[in-house]
């Protein structure tokens, strides 16, 4: 069996399409949405409208680049959730219409499972079982991965996601959106020990980022009372210290998960896995702990259809198809 699948991703503000043939991704077309920058964050209504404008063009380019004809397709994969309901609705509706018109199966994909499976797009790939720290603007999870489609969340945030903490801190410092990559940029020349921020104590392997966000807000407010130019004068040190604290919160739980499970195959995924501070510290920790670490290429860290295609491929092999009346889910557990 050599399935050819078109995959569509539209969970937030990236419209993406990818074609996969027999488990090999042929392309990964992504259209970003610049409209959100002036609002300091993603505006759901504007995101769904932009998906409507982009989806036909993105799918067309993906199909043309791959050299695959519509009649060659064996299935259509799509992100069902989690995500913004309006954005998801555009992708789900397009996938349903195309599958119905071609008379081929639909394959729904969990967006967070797909982030984990981004590790199978290119070599090297982790062996089973492995732990995956999945970090993004909407989620922070430690996932125990027993097989391609057998995953269990063993730790997760109880409030905000780490990516949201990065972006909120950037807004507090009046940086443009998206602020997370800017914090990473400035942090590279700063002192990570210049300032200290709290790590909320949570039971087990869970995370909490609301406390550090509040502490950072008060820290900046109080320092600016003493020196209005405090942020501008100390930006690299502030960014480095905040990033150090957030990365430490992530990796201490990951270490604990490795100790509890005995697993040394360790992966990271999601948009925040593109953070250079996280990547560098994880590699250092891997040498100390003798972990085998897997980090996806930057292209596959943020939202993309290649990872949806990979998940759809494994579901196709198990004939896990979806009914034509499938609807998007804003919240969808792994």
- pLDDT tens digits along 256-279: 999 999 999 999 999 999 999 999
Cis bond before residue 60 (omega within 30° of 0) = no
Q: Is residue 323 part of a domain?
A: no
- 65, pLDDT greater than 80: yes
Looking at the fold, whether 45 and 140 belong to one and the same domain comes out as no
Looking at the fold, whether 27 and 155 belong to one and the same domain comes out as no
Q: What is the pLDDT of residues 17-40, one digit of tens each?
A: 999 999 999 999 999 777 667 767
Q: State the average pLDDT over residues 248-252.
A: 97
The pLDDT score that the predictor gives to residue 35 is 65
Indicate the DSSP class of residue 126.
Answer: P
Lowest-confidence pick of 41-55, 60-74, 230-244, 274-288: 41-55
- 45, pLDDT greater than 90: no
**Cβ-contact 55, 6 below 8 angstroms:** no
Q: What is the pLDDT of residues 101-138, one digit of tens each?
A: 999 999 999 999 999 999 999 999 999 999 999 999 88
Lowest-confidence pick of 29-38, 135-144, 157-166: 29-38
Q: Is residue 82 part of a domain?
A: yes
**Cβ-contact 302, 60 below 8 angstroms:** no
- 321, pLDDT greater than 80: yes
Give the start-end residues of each E strand in 238-300.
265-269, 292-294
Total domains in the fold of the chain: 2
Structural domain of 163: 127-295
- 201, pLDDT greater than 80: no
**Can you give the CATH number for the domain in which 194 is found?**
3.30.420.40
Q: pTM, whole model, 2 decimals?
A: 0.95
Looking at the fold, whether 26 and 82 belong to one and the same domain comes out as yes
The pLDDT score that the predictor gives to residue 36 is 66
Query: What would the DSSP string read from start to end of 177-244?
Result: SS-HHHHHHHHTTS-TTSS-------STT-B--HHHHHHHHHHHHHHHHH-TTHHHHHHHHHHHHHHH
The closest of 22, 21, 31 to 304, measured between CA atoms, is 31
- 42, pLDDT greater than 80: no
- 242, pLDDT greater than 90: yes
Looking at the fold, whether 291 and 310 belong to one and the same domain comes out as no
Rounded distance between C-alpha atoms, residue 75 and residue 104, angstroms: 5
The pLDDT score that the predictor gives to residue 200 is 82
Secondary structure class of 170 (helix, strand, coil): helix
- 173, pLDDT greater than 70: yes
Q: How confident is the model at residue 165 (pLDDT cuts 50, 70, 90)?
A: very high
The pLDDT score that the predictor gives to residue 277 is 96
Handedness of CA 161, 166, 172, 178 (dihedral sign): negative
Looking at the fold, whether 99 and 17 belong to one and the same domain comes out as yes
The pLDDT score that the predictor gives to residue 43 is 80
Looking at the fold, whether 133 and 98 belong to one and the same domain comes out as no
Rounded distance between C-alpha atoms, residue 182 and residue 189, angstroms: 12
Looking at the fold, whether 109 and 153 belong to one and the same domain comes out as no
The pLDDT score that the predictor gives to residue 316 is 98
């Amino acid at each position: 069996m050599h399935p050819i699948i078109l995959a569509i991703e539209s969970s937030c503000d990236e419209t993406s399409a990818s074609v996969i043939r027999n488990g090999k991704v042929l392309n990964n077309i992504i259209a970003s949405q610049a409209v959100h920058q002036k609002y300091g964050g993603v505006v759901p209504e504007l995101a769904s409208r932009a998906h409507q404008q982009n989806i036909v063009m993105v799918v067309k380019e993906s199909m043309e680049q791959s050299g695959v004809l519509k009649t060659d397709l064996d299935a259509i994969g799509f992100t069902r959730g989690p995500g913004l309901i309006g954005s998801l609705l555009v992708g789900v509706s397009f996938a349903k219409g195309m599958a119905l018109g071609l008379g081929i199966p639909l394959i729904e994909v969990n967006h967070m499972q797909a982030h984990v499976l981004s590790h199978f797009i290119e070599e090297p790939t982790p062996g089973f079982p492995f732990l995956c720290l999945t970090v993004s603007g909407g989620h922070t999870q430690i996932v125990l991965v027993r097989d391609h489609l057998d995953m269990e969340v063993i730790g997760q945030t109880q409030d905000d996601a780490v990516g949201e903490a990065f972006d909120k801190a950037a807004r507090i410092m009046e940086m443009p959106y998206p602020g997370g990559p800017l914090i990473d940029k400035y942090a590279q020349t700063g002192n990570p020990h210049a300032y200290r921020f709290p790590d909320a104590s949570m039971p087990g392997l869970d995370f909490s980022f609301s406390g550090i966000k509040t502490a950072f807000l008060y820290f900046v407010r109080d320092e600016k009372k003493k020196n209005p130019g405090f942020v501008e004068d100390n930006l690299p040190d502030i960014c480095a210290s905040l990033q150090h604290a957030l990365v430490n919160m992530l990796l201490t739980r990951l270490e604990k998960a490795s100790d509890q499970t005995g697993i040394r195959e360790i992966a990271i995924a999601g948009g925040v896995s593109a953070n250079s501070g996280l990547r560098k510290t994880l590699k250092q920790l891997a040498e100390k702990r003798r972990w085998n670490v897997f980090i996806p290429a930057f292209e596959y860290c943020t939202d993309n259809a290649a990872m949806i295609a990979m998940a759809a491929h494994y579901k196709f092999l198990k004939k896990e198809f979806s009914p034509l009346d499938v609807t998007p889910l804003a919240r969808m557990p792994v």
